[in-house]
Structure 1
């Protein structure tokens, strides 16, 4: 496909728009052998999975790709065709970093994630810069997760354009307490170090967990669901930045992360009885998938979710408490629905079902499942409304029961309900119980030809397919790099 100008047609209910991403109107087809795209990412399923099909497509076009991420993601990175490079955990301070950035007597919650991110970045920057400088050919674009400040700082130091990958429906879905976070002493020390050493003030163009690239961001949603920067700090810092909606980034042929903490035994035990599923569908049973993602049942399993869940009434819940509450309610709601076959994804915690009733006979329980292979066969999906899961379901025209836990999931769930493609149980401790969940699920799985939830989901799915997906994301990345090369050539 020939190169075209990158334009932003992003809106919130068609009322918000950005300027064009690049100030040029045409480009010659690039020499792919001269392109080298570098990815820098968090080792988390929701952050990794959308990038892997993009890596695969870049490699198929003859582009060199190097991917910096933790070692546990090496397998999927190399399966997509990229060269893997180690980037240590970007969320947890080492003992050396604690000694350098954390004042004596600071409680753990004051230097844990996300306060830790900037200090980790300051510690990792010298090594990342050294490795980037050593790559051959020289990197032409850095594609990075906006939770991470150091790839964007490195790009600015090296004069390389950057593209951030936003796997939420827009910056405005999660407004951060910028003033509180940035006054944290650990954050202040790391910010000062980066500014003193590299001359870059990271908060001049971003904030904790919000380091979007001024050159452009790929957003894995569609215009109708995009949420722009909120008034205040967000809009002041990056309200003028370009964001391009490309829809879900999915390719069933590309190996994915099922769960970042799944070991070989977990993966081995996660095979689905496809014959049972196909037999149930042949008998006109309705297939329901239930999954609450990978964060509540890993990172937050045995600790309180905290302020990220305060607006959803779950700040004092541990991951285990809310996950088990939802599973118990699902058992109650659907155990006697004989025309339903329910696939329940429980994650990799060994005690996830401790104290719960025995799963009903119409349930298939697995630690992980191949979600994008299973979803097309489903009639409804009960999801935490993480952006990837929500968009994958809608991309297949599957209506969703949203049970959000924290962060952008709450906004995603409400947006879904507003679109008519699902039903939201925000603040689940107050709203979720057996009878209303059963009623909601009956509405979504209704086999009638006029099912409004299915029709709305299918309509959004068509718009997502039209957004361009993987190929559009690749075009944004390559054209951003070519624009820089063209500018240098004309200088």
Structure 2
């Protein structure tokens, strides 16, 4: 793995100001919403110490927002939380259960590995309150061990949006059985009960949890599910509003789960600002197409359908999903003609556009399409985009709403189908709920034409933006109360 620079030792606590510890994973969708919060906390006089794995792009964004970056372990430059404890799965494990086993093991195994250091470090810093991503029980351990206030930060519309993934009670019970030995070991070593027997320990919620959206966007819990009743009994969830800010750092690409591409393809990262401005000046509509980091990196070559909740066929890889949508998009742009211009964010997989390659490694693109590896999404949405073709991951959805841009939704997995239903029901755009069967060139051209041209979509998006604003300020007040 590429080495990452470690943070310089920080002074111990300045007791005149509150000290906030944040714990997170190296996932763009989980960290990007936090940087505006860090800025607000620092502006209010707080010290923020941000515990992150050694992924340099994410760590630099945390520093740029005003946080002191901390390690989960000192002097370790290649720690991947999601690999802790998973190197040797049980020999008899069924391949279908491997993902379940891995997801159950790594949060607790990494907490066991790092727990002693992070507890000592937070005690040295005089941490006043812990805020943690619910994928990281590390923050929960620290708060329980040091007996300080805590909350988790939910950067998706709540567990209700994962109802399809939580619908198999027997799998939830099996995951609890896998977690039990690790939970027992944590209780033995640290004297802390992380309640690993809870069915909802797919996420390590706290008694108090803040959701980074408005109340209308929180996905409701089902009425008759045991796991949902468990949440109602043990946890409270408070929507605080959206944390998106054009002033905050925003990570557009980072190594994920230790992945290193052997032959990364680069189409460039910069915005073609002059060309985009010229297109807008001529009254043309600009389509921005970005399908998220899950399909473009972690699940490029593996089954994306298994996490989809039924909207993608089982066995569909990230590559198959992306290329199906991209083929339809290129066909749609041919049909839409010069009145439309498209920026396509294609990621850095070496075979991203292999369906277009000729013998000279060139690409036969329509003249009104330009491809970039990644672009600064918030800037693109705020200044140039007329319509956003998106997988509607929760951050992308909210970034689009906050920029006043309507959407064409092509959901993949996890919370995205629920987000796409919200896009359709609230009038924020058009959704293709089963992209592999419903997305075609003509269908996509029709949707882009409708969303780009009808003012009703823009009015609905503007109303949503008004409801979402003020999240960073509101959440800061809540943390200061704690």
The correspondence of residues 292-307 of structure 1 with structure 2, limited to 5 A, is 292-307=291-306
Q: Counterparts of 1:114 and 1:209 in 2: how far apart (Å)? A: 11
SS in 1 for 2:83: coil
Q: Counterparts of 1:473 and 1:261 in 2: how far apart (Å)? A: 29
Q: Counterparts of 1:143 and 1:267 in 2: how far apart (Å)? A: 36
Change (3 A) 1:126 1:351: closer
Q: Counterparts of 2:29 and 2:19 in 1: how far apart (Å)? A: 24
The residue that corresponds to 1:138 in the other structure is 126
Q: Counterparts of 2:230 and 2:364 in 1: how far apart (Å)? A: 51
1:44-74 CA-to-partner distances (Å, cap 9, x unmatched) read: 1100000111112212222111111111122
Change (3 A) 1:113 1:360: farther
Q: Counterparts of 1:471 and 1:281 in 2: how far apart (Å)? A: 33
Of 228, 232, 238 in structure 2, the residue corresponding to residue 239 of structure 1 is 232
TM-score, normalised by the number of residues in structure 1: 0.83
Q: Counterparts of 2:266 and 2:395 in 1: how far apart (Å)? A: 21
The residue that corresponds to 2:138 in the other structure is 150
The residue that corresponds to 1:319 in the other structure is 318
Deviation of 1:230 after TM superposition, in Å, equals: 2.7
1:150-176 CA-to-partner distances (Å, cap 9, x unmatched) read: 322332222122111111122200022
Structure 2 unmatched runs, 5+: 1-13, 73-78, 357-362
Higher mean C-alpha displacement, 427-436 vs 288-297:
427-436
Instruction: Determine if contact 1:304/1:315 at 8 Å carries over to the other structure.
Output: yes
The correspondence of residues 194-273 of structure 1 with structure 2, limited to 5 A, is 194-197=186-189, 198-203=191-196, 207-214=200-207, 216-231=208-223, 232-240=225-233, 241-261=235-255, 269-273=268-272
Q: Counterparts of 1:60 and 1:111 in 2: how far apart (Å)? A: 45
Q: Does 1:445 align with 2:458?
A: no
Deviation of 1:117 after TM superposition, in Å, equals: 4.5
1:284-334 CA-to-partner distances (Å, cap 9, x unmatched) read: 001111110111111101111242114113331111111111111111112
Change (3 A) 1:131 1:40: same
Instruction: Determine if contact 2:50/2:68 at 8 Å carries over to the other structure.
Output: yes
Change (3 A) 1:260 1:202: farther
Instruction: Determine if contact 2:83/2:106 at 8 Å carries over to the other structure.
Output: no
Q: Counterparts of 2:15 and 2:472 in 1: how far apart (Å)? A: 17
The residue that corresponds to 2:480 in the other structure is 478
Q: Counterparts of 2:281 and 2:214 in 1: how far apart (Å)? A: 34
1:429-459 CA-to-partner distances (Å, cap 9, x unmatched) read: 121111111111111111x6xx211111111
Deviation of 1:383 after TM superposition, in Å, equals: 0.5
The residue that corresponds to 1:469 in the other structure is 471
- TM-align CA RMSD: 2.5
Of 61, 64, 69 in structure 2, the residue corresponding to residue 76 of structure 1 is 61
Change (3 A) 1:66 1:111: farther
Q: Counterparts of 2:463 and 2:101 in 1: how far apart (Å)? A: 37
The residue that corresponds to 1:9 in the other structure is none
Q: Does 1:85 align with 2:76?
A: no
The residue that corresponds to 2:9 in the other structure is none
1:317-363 CA-to-partner distances (Å, cap 9, x unmatched) read: 11111111111111111223210111111112121011136221101
Deviation of 1:257 after TM superposition, in Å, equals: 1.0
TM-score, normalised by the number of residues in structure 2: 0.85
Q: Counterparts of 1:112 and 1:183 in 2: how far apart (Å)? A: 12
The residue that corresponds to 2:400 in the other structure is 393
Change (3 A) 1:279 1:258: same
Instruction: Determine if contact 1:247/1:469 at 8 Å carries over to the other structure.
Output: yes
Q: Does 1:427 align with 2:434?
A: yes
Number of aligned residue pairs: 440
Deviation of 1:222 after TM superposition, in Å, equals: 1.3
SS in 1 for 2:205: coil
Instruction: Determine if contact 1:260/1:294 at 8 Å carries over to the other structure.
Output: no
Structure 1 unmatched runs, 5+: 1-30, 481-491
Instruction: Determine if contact 1:91/1:113 at 8 Å carries over to the other structure.
Output: no
Q: Does 1:349 align with 2:375?
A: no
1:408-445 CA-to-partner distances (Å, cap 9, x unmatched) read: 00000011100011111011112111111111111111
Change (3 A) 1:60 1:46: same
Q: Does 1:369 align with 2:375?
A: yes
Instruction: Determine if contact 1:204/1:237 at 8 Å carries over to the other structure.
Output: no
Q: Counterparts of 1:141 and 1:206 in 2: how far apart (Å)? A: 26
Q: Counterparts of 1:247 and 1:125 in 2: how far apart (Å)? A: 33
Instruction: Determine if contact 1:74/1:84 at 8 Å carries over to the other structure.
Output: yes
Q: Does 1:66 align with 2:11?
A: no
Change (3 A) 1:436 1:259: same
The residue that corresponds to 1:459 in the other structure is 463
Change (3 A) 1:92 1:110: farther
Deviation of 1:186 after TM superposition, in Å, equals: 3.8
Change (3 A) 1:206 1:78: farther
Q: Counterparts of 1:63 and 1:206 in 2: how far apart (Å)? A: 35
Instruction: Determine if contact 1:249/1:470 at 8 Å carries over to the other structure.
Output: yes
Q: Does 1:165 align with 2:153?
A: yes
SS in 2 for 1:202: coil
Deviation of 1:203 after TM superposition, in Å, equals: 3.5
The residue that corresponds to 1:360 in the other structure is 366
